[in-house]
Structure 1
Amino acid sequence: MNTSHSQINLHHKQILLWLCVLSFFSVLNEMVLNVSLPDIARDFHKEPASINWINTAFILTFSIGTAVYGKLSDQLGIKKLLLFGIIVNCIGSVIGFVGHSLFPVLILARLIQGTGAAAFPALVMVVVARYIPKENRGKAFGLIGSIVAMGEGVGPFIGGAIAEYMHWSYILLLPIVTIISVPFLAQLLKQEEVIKASLDNVGILFMSLGIVFFMMFTTFYKISFLIVCLIFFLLFVQNIRRVSNPFVDPALGRNISFMIGIVCGGLIFGTVAGFISMVPYMMKDVYHLSTVAIGSGIIFPGAMSVIVFGYLGGVLVDKSGSLFVLTTGSAFLAISFIVAALYIETTPLLITIIVIFVFGGLSFTKTVISTIVASSLEQKEVGAGMSLLNFTSFLSEGIGIAIVGGLLSVRLLNQKLLPINAEPPVYLYSNILLLFAGIIVVSYFVTMNMYKRSRINI
């Protein structure tokens, strides 16, 4: 009896170990190339609008994939999908490393990586819920959350060190480590009963094409891309109203409070992602810092601070309420962007402190947005609604990165608008930071106004 019990515990621990490995490399894959973008831009002689697609491409398929894997988990089984995701992610890594000197191949590799890596956040939590005993799930979720936070923190540090002392292309090989989990997970995870159901493939296609053309518009500012984007989104809306099992439940669109939360949350998350993608360019242009210095000295402390701010945000929600934490987080973000805009040339240490408070503000607002969005949903809508929130959160990050790449390339904002003594390149970053602050302030007041009117209990 005791032997059998200990074997079960060992089985659970082994599953949890490999889930932690997958979670770590999932986040690492998203963050690790960011600090090297200026180096890649130099190698390819391209503007940020094009280079940022290295991150945008990954997040595009990553965000869509998380939603698709979630839909498919009951139809194909978690085991098959998780192993498929690991293998596809590794294939993308090999393609990217071998063909890194060809920019289209590099973008294709990142699309493939995102397609595979999307299985990790979509399915890892489901595996925990199904395989880990109820009394240990809290610890399991907490451990995975800590591993994810650690991945976010060490990603810029590892990426910066590899790019500085080896070459940025070697960063693409990091996800291959996850291939060692395949034989173990194949043995540990059991074959599941599957449910026959249809998947809205047409809806997924229309939505994906609409998103791609919108991102192309934000990158190159060609009106033809925007027109094609609107056509595909109209086709998408028409499709989900007609099919029996739509990719997105159209009823959610009639929940105004939910939609405001989704849009404002997306604006906040996209703004922060855009800022983080801009930091390496800014540090190179303003302070001429090395890649390893940017990764370890500028971004690393902020990314690691998420662990502290995440815990503190949870404590404050229980003690002072969600709206207080939302206000605090929004203030962190807006004030940080304004201070950075006004004193951008002061010292790199200031930007390090700014990045810490930006990550802190993101951690606070992310917690609260999830809470208030969930509170706006009826019980039967919670699953679909929270799935849509996760999807839009990931997607908004990709859109934010694409938009910032476009702004850095077309240089529409490269003129003196603030009373600062600096050279013209600094004006561009300063004005974009001011724009970031404005987006955060507007999003905050719209969210507060809507939820006060709705009288949602949060």
Structure 2
Amino acid sequence: MVNLQSEEIKKRVIKCMPWILLYEFFQVFNENVFNLITPNLSQEYGVSPSTVSLIVTLGKLFLGIASIVFSALSDIVSTRKLMLFTCFVFPVVTLIGFFSPNSFSLLITARIMFALTIAIPLALQVIIALKYFDKLTAAKYFGYNTAIFQLASAAGHFFGGYITDYFHWNYIFLFPLLTLLGIPTLMKNLPKDASKKGSFDFVGMLLVTIISTLLITFMTFKMQYPLLLISALVCSAIFMIYTRKSKNPFIKPELFKVKGIVWSLIVCGLFYGTQVGFGFIFPFIVHKAYGFPASTIGLFYSLTNIAAFIAGINSGRIISKIGYRNIALLGGLFIFSGLAMVAFLVGFSVVFVFVGMAFFNIGYALFFSGYLSNYTQLLPSHQHGSGVGVERLVLNIGSSLGGALIAMLYGQPYMMNKIVDLSSNPLSAQYSNLALLLMMMIALATFIFTKVFHKNFNRVE
């Protein structure tokens, strides 16, 4: 009887997952479009490029912080209540964004509110998969998660320019209203899980929010303001002292005593720092070294995203053939190969660069499903929420650090010396060297991964 009930709950949750994943699609789509149109917004509002970048920067910042908070909150608050809160608040937020063309401040506010509300389903999709699905089914949805990310990136790169050219950018905020269609399905099928007894550590949450804000802001602005780092370190010390004395801390210290957790989080930071770092230099490679316009870059970028989408959708089948550990290693091999192609061949045909990016994106689609499956195996069942929240924190900080590192090195005179660049192209040396650095980061991360996750993590039940 229990098995029948659990199978029925699983079927109901499966009906909800496409609608939950739809929120991720619109988050990634929205962010990619705003990345694309920042020059237009700078001109429209009459503000500097650095000021207009706050539209994307603050959105990322608050998305990262909210993901951490709601992941941890899901350990004591009903996931159904959190999800339905988003369902009814999110449409209001999108309408605020639609009516923001006449006010830059209102647009910034709308983007922050957009991030805060959409962070709930983004955090809960992993928690729900772990809670209601078996290991293989959960891994499939981790793959779908990455596939949706790639599909939304492709749509953002391809359609963003056309939308802004033929309509107006504010119409981008109307597309997420499609999520309203999913409310009946979610209300009917999301399990009515009870909230757990226990207090929530608001002081700890506030300290983590402050630390995350300071660190991510420090890295976002290319480490130009050391006072932010000093403040983050001071707050971290306060947080550690507070956590030791707290009876129910926001992030439980015993989580980090679990064997493999710390090294696994280092792997996470290195992989996602590399992803953002290469994403930063890719448009510069294609534009500066080959002279391609933004529209062409967006088109080819979309093709690589679609290739990765196909890989992500099929990740469950690949796992059933080779296992959880091996799909992550296969992803690492694809990423390493894509970067190697750029490092050695960037000065030749642009085809090598686009094929390298395709390998790179496919690698991340494969890696994510395997890595998250293995990481969550390390977590105690009662700490899935806080464990996933910490992983999201490391992901966001690692991503910011990777982007900031490559941005700092880009254009430096010492990066112009050829090391592994086999071409005679005078413009390609620094791109080759940056790709080489990212290769080394991936090689290190993959080596650590093999030491943390032994062959017993590869089993498919």
2:261 pairs with 1:258: yes
> Contact 2:153–2:302 (CA<8 Å) still a contact in 1?
no
Deviation at 1:332, TM superposition (A): 2.3
Q: Distance in 2 between matches of 1:317 and 1:270?
A: 29
Q: SS at 1:33's partner residue?
A: helix
Post-superposition offset of 1:396: 3.4
Letter in 2 for 1:57: L
Contact in 2 for aligned 1:69/1:118 (Cα 8 Å): yes
Are 1:271 and 1:397, in contact at CA under 8 Å, matched by a contact in 2? yes
* Cα distance between partner residues in 2 of 1:304 and 1:313: 16
Is it true that 1:392 corresponds to 2:397 in the alignment?
no
TM-score, reference length from structure 1: 0.78
Q: Given residue 162 of structure 1, which amino acid in structure 2 is its aligned partner? A: G
Partner of residue 60, structure 1: 61
**CA spacing shift, 1:240–1:450, aligned 2, 3 Å:** same
Query: 1:138, CA displacement in angstroms?
Result: 7.7
Superposed, which structure 2 residues align to 1:143-158 within 5 Å?
Answer: 146=144, 149-150=147-148, 152-158=150-156
Label 1:30 to 1:312 Cα distance change in 2 as closer, same or farther (>3 A). closer
Q: Deviations over 1:287-311 (max 9, x none)?
A: 4444443333223333442432663
CA distance in 2, matches of 1:406, 1:42: 25
User: Which of 228, 233, 247 matches 1:230?
Assistant: 233
What do residues 350-371 of structure 1 show as CA deviations (whole Å, max 9, x unaligned)?
Answer: 2321122112222333344334
8 A contact 1:19–1:124 mirrored in 2: yes
Distance in 1 between residues matched to 2:128 and 2:33, nearest whole Å: 32
Deviation, structure 1 residue 262: 0.8
Residues 1:249 and 2:252 are matched in the alignment: yes
Amino acid in the other structure paired with 1:163: G
1:269 alignment partner in structure 2: 272
Superposed CA offset, 1:82-120 (max 9, x none): 132234444443444443576655444332222111111
Indicate conservation of the 8 Å contact 1:337/1:433, yes or no: yes
Change (3 A) 1:49 1:227: farther
Alignment of 1:16-415 (within 5 A): 19-34=17-32, 37-41=35-39, 43-44=41-42, 54-73=55-74, 75-99=76-100, 105-124=106-125, 142=140, 146=144, 149-150=147-148, 152-164=150-162, 165-166=165-166, 167-182=168-183, 185-186=186-187, 193-218=194-219, 219-220=221-222, 221-255=224-258, 257-308=260-311, 311=314, 315=318, 319=322, 322=325, 324-377=326-379, 384-393=386-395, 396-401=398-403, 403-404=405-406, 411-412=411-412, 415=415
Does the 8 A contact of 2:97 with 2:111 survive in 1?
yes
Amino acid at match of 1:298: Y
Partners of 1:97 and 1:169 within 8 A in 2:
yes
Alpha carbons of 1:319 and 1:123: their partners in 2 closer, same or farther (altered >3 Å)? closer
Q: Would the alpha carbon gap of residues 126 and 295 (structure 1) be closer, same or farther in structure 2, given more than 3 Å must change? A: same
Contact 2:285 2:431 (8 Å CA) reproduced: yes
Cα distance change on mapping 1:127 and 1:415 into 2, 3 Å: closer
Return the alpha-carbon distance in structure 2 between the equivalents of residues 155 and 119 of structure 1: 20
The amino acid across from 1:295 in the alignment is G
Conserved? CA contact 2:331–2:363, under 8 Å? yes
Aligned letter for 1:20? P
CA positional deviation for 1:394? 5.0
Which has the higher mean CA deviation after the structures are superposed, 243-252 or 442-451? 442-451
Alpha-carbon offset, residue 400 of structure 1: 3.8
**Aligned to 1:330, what secondary structure does the other structure show?**
helix
**Shift in Å, 1:457:** 5.5
Q: Sequence identity, in percent?
A: 20
- The one-letter code matched in structure 2 to 1:283 is V
- In structure 2, how many angstroms separate the alpha carbons of the residues matched to 1:277 and 1:122? 25
Segments of structure 1 that go 5 or more residues without pairing to the other structure are 1-8
CA contact (8 A) 1:336 1:357 kept: yes
Q: Check conservation: 2:341, 2:353, Cα contact below 8 A.
A: no
Closer, same or farther in 2 for the Cα pair 1:328/1:110, shift >3 Å? same
- Residues 360 and 160 (structure 1 numbering): CA distance in 2 closer, same or farther, change over 3 Å? closer
Q: Secondary structure, in 3 states, of the residue corresponding to 1:305? A: helix
Q: CA separation in 1, counterparts of 2:69 and 2:449?
A: 28
Contact 1:156 1:299 in 2 (8 A): yes
How has the CA–CA distance of structure 1 residues 357 and 231 changed in structure 2, closer, same or farther, with 3 Å as cutoff?
same
Q: Is the 8 A contact 2:129 2:138 kept in 1?
A: yes
Q: Deviations over 1:194-220 (max 9, x none)?
A: 334221112122122212222222224
Deviations 1:236-270 (A, max 9, x none): 22222222222211112234621011112221022
Match of 2:417 in 1: 417
CA change 1:129–1:355 in 2 (3 A) is closer
Distance 1:140 1:263, change over 3 A: closer
Q: CA deviation at 1:345?
A: 4.5
Moved more, 23-32 or 100-109: 100-109
Deviations 1:115-155 (A, max 9, x none): 1111113334666788x8x89x9879857954762452243
Deviations 1:28-72 (A, max 9, x none): 422553366254146427898776654443343333323432443
Q: 1:120 to 1:451 in 2, by over 3 A?
A: closer
Report the AA paired with residue 178 of structure 2: V
Structure 2: tracts of 5 or more residues without a match: 1-7
> 1: CA distance between counterparts of 2:457 and 2:52?
44
Partner deviation per Cα, 1:144-169 (whole Å, 9 max, x = no partner): 95476245224323443232343544
Count of matched residue pairs: 442
Secondary structure of 1:248 counterpart: coil
